[in-house]
Structure 1
């Protein structure tokens, strides 16, 4: 795998990344037309960015609320017994819970930050009590309910 840094990217590479960040479904042909490149040239650049690991993948972003998951909660989780339970055991167990959308190992007051979706507050309480609080090593937990979310483009 080739390694690229931000300084290795030219303005065309950055324009490709901005366009794909806004709409990951764009084809190489559509990107080329938008940026004044041929389809093969756009495809080669995308492939180079993928091979270098700059583009890790493309995601489908779902509207959780329209799918019936009206509540999003961020949980700070502090492990009670770091010595007895390995981080891998906790991570393996928590990622098996379908309502847990992301698991982030963080530095600070808590060991992990989880993004959890639920149908409503009572459904979240069920997930918290029956699934999350029973995980190996869970100690303190702090919940923050998401009120609104705006996506902001990244630094490119």
Structure 2
């Protein structure tokens, strides 16, 4: 494990805002050379601090106007039923995230759909037929604010 210094944290904050910027542009903004910036980014990647880069798509402009969070409680629990559910749910393209959680539900899913009718189709034909599904609770996303993350 590495202990990021202030410069590393500045690099991480900048990459969290725009992961596509070049090491040269990032270095100029932080007062570092391109090679020094690149070495720091590479060190953070090798240490596992940076695990990838994400492309942020505008779902509405792509025709997906509804996001729903589902709480899923499995009817039966056990290692096999958890693995079967996880394998099946991750194969559904409308399911954006699958989180195994502690609490009232076993899983929290983020599902995107074109509209409510499309979501109902996904729910009835795909999600409710998954192995082990018991209770499901849906919460439709009304608005979302982006938070800067743990580095502020």
Give the TM-score range, shorter chain. over 0.9
Is 1:15 matched up with 2:10?
yes
**CA–CA distance in 2 between the matches of 1:27 and 1:51?**
18
Number of matched pairs: 151
2:64 is matched with 69
Distance (Å, rounded) in 2 between the aligned partners of 1:39 and 1:85: 49
Alpha-carbon contact 1:85-1:136 (below 8 Å) kept: no
Choose which of 113, 125, 135 in structure 2 pairs with 1:118. Answer: 113
Change over 3 Å in CA distance of 1:43–1:84 after alignment to 2: closer
Deviation at 1:120, TM superposition (A): 0.5
In structure 2, runs of 5+ residues without a counterpart are none
Measure how far apart 1:98 and its partner are: 0.4
CA shift in 2, pair 1:152/1:83, >3 Å: closer
Structure 1 residues 134-149: aligned runs within 5 Å: 134-149=129-144
* Runs of 4+ off more than 6 Å: none
Task: Pick closer, same or farther for the CA change 1:55–1:83 going to 2, 3 Å.
Answer: closer
**Within 2, Cα distance between the matches of 1:155 and 1:82?**
33
Residue 85 of structure 1 contacts residue 137 of structure 1 at CA under 8 Å; is this kept in 2?
A: no
User: 2: distance between equivalents of 1:58 and 1:39?
Assistant: 19
- TM-score with structure 2 setting the length: 0.97
Q: Work out whether 1:34 is the aligned partner of 2:68.
A: no
- Which has the larger displacement, 109-118 or 81-90? 81-90
Shift of residue 85, structure 1, vs aligned partner: 4.6
Quote the Cα distance in structure 1 between the aligned partners of 2:93 and 2:28: 40
Secondary structure of the residue that 1:37 maps to in structure 2? coil
Unaligned runs of 5+ in 1: none
